[in-house]
Structure 1
Amino acid sequence: MDLDAPLDFENEDKLVNKPVVNKKRKKVIGLDDLLTDHYKQKSKLIEKEKKREKASKNYNSDEDESGKEALLSNIVNNCQNQMQDISGEEELSDWGLHVFGNQKTPPPLDFPQLGSCKLLHSFLNNEVNSLVELTAENGETFLEGLLINGWLSKLVITRGHVEKSIATWTFNLILYSSKEEPRASACDFWCAILSSKNKVDALATKIDWFPSYSELNRALSIYGFSANFSTAAESVNTISGYREPQNLIGWIKFTAACCQARSKKSIFLTTEAEELVEVVTCIFLDRQFLALSVLLSECIQSVINYFTDQEWNTSCQKIAKSLACRVPRDLELLANCRLHRRSQQPY
C-alpha cells in the first residue's frame, strides 16, 4: 500500500484535484512571414492578370482567324467563278492519249505438248513418283506448282536448258493468263533465266525457243492497242466498256528483260526495237497508266539501251519524227524528253 497516495475522499474533492490547464504559446509573427504573405498575394494578382490577358488574346486571335477564313473563302469563290467563266468560253481538254481500246478474246491456254516435256518425264520416271502419283495428264498442274513456288526456274538453270514446251507455256501465261499468281510467276521465271550470269558473252541457260517481236505485237493488238490512237478528250465518248489490260504489266517487264539481255542474246531487230520505243512511249503518255510510270520509265530506258551508240544516233531521229507525226503537239515535248534520257551505261 502506498502511504503517499491520496485517500478516497481526497479524490472526490475538487479543490484538491485541480484540472491541468494547457497553456498555448502564441506564435510570434516575424517580418519574414509578413513579406512572404505579401509576395504570395502579389503573385496571385499577377497570375490573374496574365489569365485575363491570355483570354483577351485568344478572343482577338479567333476574330483574326475568322477574318482570314472569310478572306480565303472569298478568294476561292472568285477563282471558281473565273474558272466557270473560262470553261464557258472555251472547253478545256484533258491531256494524254488513249492508246488502248476494246480488247479481243485472248487465245486459249491449252498446252498438250507439256505432256512430252523431258523435265516432266524425269519426275515421272523417278522412284518417288509412286508416292505422289504424278501422271502426264496432271503434269501441267504439277509444273504450275513448281513455277509458282520458284522451283521451276531453279531446276532449268541447274540443268542449263529450257525446253520449247516450257518456254512457250510460260510466255503465254505472262501475256494471256487471267490468274495473277501464274502470270507473275511466269514473268519472274523469264526474268531469272534471261539475267543468269554464269557465262560472260552468252546466256547461262540454253533456251530452245524465243518469242519474236510479232508475238509481242500480237499481244498488244489483243489488249486493244492501236497505232491510230486518239487524245483523251476525243475518246471519251468513242470507247465503251473500256478496261485496262490486266496482262500489260507482264508485257512491260518481259520486254524490258529481253532488252537487258542484249549483250548475251539479240532478240529484236533494230527496226523492231525502234517500234518498241514508240509503243512504250505512247503507253507512257496514256494518263490511265500513271500508276505504272516507274515501271514504264525503266522499260523505256531498257529498250533505248538495247541500241548500240551507232544505232541510236540513226534510230533516235527516226523515232522522234515518227512520234512527231503521231503524237499531239502538246505531248511532243514530254515524248522527246523520254527519248533523250539515254543512260550512259548500256546493259
Structure 2
Amino acid sequence: MMDVDEPLDFESEDHRLRKAPAATKRRKKVIGLDDLVNDHLKENKKLELKSKRAKARKDYFSDEDDDIREAKLSECVEKCQQEMGQISGDEEICLWGLQVFGKQKTLPQLAFHELGSCGLLQSFRGNELNSLVELDIEKGEAFLERLLVNGWLLKLLDTCGHVEKSIATWTCNLMLYSEQEVLSASACDFWISILSPTSKIKIDWLPKYSEIKRALEIYGFRSDLPSKFSSDVEMVNTDSDCGGPPQNIRAWIKYVAACVQVRKYSIISTSEAEELIVVLIYLFLDRLLLGLSVILRECMHSVINFFTDKEWSTSCEEVAKSIACRVPKDMNCLRTVESISGVDERSKHLRRAVAFQILVACLDIKATDAEEILRFLISINVKEKSCDLFKIYIYLVLSENWLLHNPTLEDKPVIHKLWGVYLRHCSCQITSTDLRSYASKVRSKASYLLQGTSSK
C-alpha cells in the first residue's frame, strides 16, 4: 500500500524538473602575500605612468617651457655657427688689397700762353684755306684741343714730320693732369702714336722719367706701404678722405708702356725700369684698379721686355728683392706673384724669383739654399694647435711658384723628393676634422699638388 503522505508519481517528477542542477565544485586558489604585493606594485606603476603622461602633456603645452626649448635650440644653433666660423670665418677675412693712393695733391695749372706763337698755328693764319673756312685760330688752345680730340693734330704733325716743344709739353700735361677725360685720352693716344717704333716724326721735347715719377707723387701714390706679416694692414677704401685712384692713371699706364717700347729715345734707364716694375706691382694690389688689369698686364709685359738679355739676369734678381722687402707678407704677397702672369720665359723667371725672395723673407731664416729651405719647412709641426696654418698656406703657394717648372732644379732629385715629403706632411697630418683656420685649404692644396708630383 502507498503511504498517503508520499507524493504522487507526477508530483515527484515535476519536483525533479524544477530542481536546479547541482553546481560543479571548483578548487579554490590560495592567494599569497607575494601576489598581493605584485598586484599593488603593478597598479602603482600604471598610475605613475599615467601621471607622467598627463604631466608631459601639460608641459608640452606650457608657454614657459616652450621658451626654454627655444632658448636651448638657439644656443645649439649658435654653437654650430661658432664651430663653422672656426673653419671658414678667418679665411673670408684674409683678403688681398691695399690703399695705394692717398690724398691727391693740387694738379698743375694747364695754361700755356706760348701756344699762340707756335709754328703750327702761324701756318694756319697765313694759309689761304683759312680765309675760306674761317677757322677761329685766335683762340689758339681751344682750337688745338679740337684738333687733338678729332685726330687732326696728329695727321697735321705727321705730314710736317715735326712736333714743337710747346705742342709736346702741352699734350703731355693734358695727358697726365687734365680733368677732362676726353682730352687726357686723346693726348695719350697722340703720344703713343708719335712714340711708335714706326713713327718718323721729330720730337723737340720728351718727358723723362722724372715727369712720370712726379705725376705719381701728385696722384698721391704711397710708396711707404707696410711690409709686415699681418692681416691687419690697411685695406682699400678705409680712408674716407681719399677719392681713390686718379682718373689720369689709365693714361699714365699706357704712356709708360709706350715709353719702354722705344729705347732709341732713352726716356727710361735700366734702374728706372726696375723701379717701374715695383710700382706696377703696387698698382696690382689696389682693388680699385681691377678694371685696369688688362692694360696693367700689357704694361708689365712691355717693361719686362725693355731689358736686354744681358741686363735681365741681374735686374730680375734686383726687382725680386725690392718687391720682397716691400710687399706685406699676407695674401698681398700671393696677389703679387699672381700678377706676374705672363707665359713667356722672362715672366716665368720673374715669378719664380719673386716667390723665392718673398718666401725667404717670410721664413726669416738665413738659408737661401733650396734643400735647406725645404728641410726647414718639413720641420714645422703642422699638427700642433699653435701652428699658424695661414702662414703655412702662404709658404705652400710661394713654394709651388718657386719650385714647379724651375729649370735650375730639374737635375736635383733630392729637391723633388723633399718637396713631396713636405706635401705629404701638409696633406696627411692635417685631418678632415681639423677646425683650425685654413686647415682645409692647406690640406686640399697639398693633396692637389701631391697628385701632380706622384704622376711624374
TM-score by length of 2: 0.53
Once residues 216 and 255 of structure 2 are traced to their aligned partners in structure 1, the CA distance between those partners, rounded to angstroms, is 13
Give the superposition deviation at 1:79: 8.9
Q: Deviations over 1:65-123 (max 9, x none)?
A: xxxxxxxxxxxx99966554568789934312221111111001111111111111110
Residue aligning to 1:249:
250
What secondary structure, in the 3-state scheme, does the structure 1 residue paired with 2:307 have? coil
Contact 2:304-2:346 at 8 Å conserved across structures? no
Residue aligning to 1:103:
104
Residue aligning to 1:130:
131
Give the superposition deviation at 1:334: 4.0
What is the one-letter code of the residue matched to 2:313?
N
1:86-165 counterparts in 2 under 5 A? 92-134=93-135, 137-165=138-166
Give the superposition deviation at 1:196: 5.4
Residue 229 (structure 1) aligned with residue 225 (structure 2): yes
Give the superposition deviation at 1:338: 4.6
Give the superposition deviation at 1:279: 0.4
Give the superposition deviation at 1:165: 0.7
Give the superposition deviation at 1:285: 1.9
1:325-340 counterparts in 2 under 5 A? 325-330=325-330, 331-336=332-337, 338-339=339-340
- Specify which structure has the bigger relative contact order, considering alpha-carbon pairs within 8 angstroms and separated by 6 or more residues: 1
Residue aligning to 1:193:
194
Residue aligning to 1:295:
295
Question: Does the C-alpha gap of structure 1 residues 125 and 89 become closer, same or farther in structure 2, counting only changes over 3 Å?
Answer: closer
Once residues 335 and 249 of structure 2 are traced to their aligned partners in structure 1, the CA distance between those partners, rounded to angstroms, is 22
Give the superposition deviation at 1:155: 1.3
Contact 1:301-1:342 at 8 Å conserved across structures? no
Residue aligning to 2:316:
316
Contact 1:153-1:189 at 8 Å conserved across structures? yes
Residue aligning to 2:213:
217
Once residues 345 and 324 of structure 1 are traced to their aligned partners in structure 2, the CA distance between those partners, rounded to angstroms, is 18
What is the one-letter code of the residue matched to 1:123?
F
Contact 1:115-1:140 at 8 Å conserved across structures? yes
Give the superposition deviation at 1:282: 1.0
Structure 1 gap ranges (5+): 1-76, 198-202
Contact 1:320-1:336 at 8 Å conserved across structures? no
Residue 285 (structure 1) aligned with residue 281 (structure 2): no
What is the one-letter code of the residue matched to 1:286?
D
Residue aligning to 1:240:
240
Question: Does the C-alpha gap of structure 1 residues 337 and 95 become closer, same or farther in structure 2, counting only changes over 3 Å?
Answer: closer
Contact 2:195-2:262 at 8 Å conserved across structures? yes
1:255-266 counterparts in 2 under 5 A? 255-262=256-263, 264-266=264-266
What secondary structure, in the 3-state scheme, does the structure 2 residue paired with 1:143 have? helix
Residue aligning to 2:271:
271
Give the superposition deviation at 1:142: 0.9
Q: Deviations over 1:302-331 (max 9, x none)?
A: 111111111111111111101100001233
Residue aligning to 2:72:
none
Residue aligning to 1:206:
202
Identity %: 57
What secondary structure, in the 3-state scheme, does the structure 2 residue paired with 1:98 have? coil
What secondary structure, in the 3-state scheme, does the structure 2 residue paired with 1:245 have? coil
Contact 1:167-1:209 at 8 Å conserved across structures? yes
Question: Does the C-alpha gap of structure 1 residues 309 and 342 become closer, same or farther in structure 2, counting only changes over 3 Å?
Answer: farther
Once residues 294 and 90 of structure 1 are traced to their aligned partners in structure 2, the CA distance between those partners, rounded to angstroms, is 28
Question: Does the C-alpha gap of structure 1 residues 312 and 90 become closer, same or farther in structure 2, counting only changes over 3 Å?
Answer: closer
Question: Does the C-alpha gap of structure 1 residues 89 and 174 become closer, same or farther in structure 2, counting only changes over 3 Å?
Answer: closer
What is the one-letter code of the residue matched to 2:312?
W
Once residues 157 and 81 of structure 2 are traced to their aligned partners in structure 1, the CA distance between those partners, rounded to angstroms, is 63
Structure 2 gap ranges (5+): 1-77, 348-456
Of residues 336-345 and 302-311 in structure 1, the stretch that sits farther from structure 2 once superposed is: 336-345
What secondary structure, in the 3-state scheme, does the structure 1 residue paired with 2:225 have? strand
Residue aligning to 2:181:
180
Of residues 92-101 and 246-255 in structure 1, the stretch that sits farther from structure 2 once superposed is: 92-101
Residue aligning to 2:448:
none
Contact 2:154-2:190 at 8 Å conserved across structures? yes
Contact 2:327-2:333 at 8 Å conserved across structures? yes
What is the one-letter code of the residue matched to 1:100?
F
What secondary structure, in the 3-state scheme, does the structure 2 residue paired with 1:181 have? helix
Contact 1:196-1:205 at 8 Å conserved across structures? no
TM-score by length of 1: 0.69
What secondary structure, in the 3-state scheme, does the structure 2 residue paired with 1:100 have? coil
What secondary structure, in the 3-state scheme, does the structure 2 residue paired with 1:225 have? coil
Give the superposition deviation at 1:340: 7.7
Contact 1:124-1:135 at 8 Å conserved across structures? no
What is the one-letter code of the residue matched to 2:179?
S
Give the superposition deviation at 1:345: 9.8
Q: Deviations over 1:241-261 (max 9, x none)?
A: 222210000000011011112
Give the superposition deviation at 1:130: 2.9
Of residues 105-114 and 93-102 in structure 1, the stretch that sits farther from structure 2 once superposed is: 93-102
What secondary structure, in the 3-state scheme, does the structure 2 residue paired with 1:211 have? coil
Contact 2:281-2:336 at 8 Å conserved across structures? yes
What is the one-letter code of the residue matched to 1:216?
I
Residue aligning to 1:307:
307
Larger Rg: 2
Question: Does the C-alpha gap of structure 1 residues 260 and 78 become closer, same or farther in structure 2, counting only changes over 3 Å?
Answer: farther
Once residues 135 and 301 of structure 1 are traced to their aligned partners in structure 2, the CA distance between those partners, rounded to angstroms, is 44
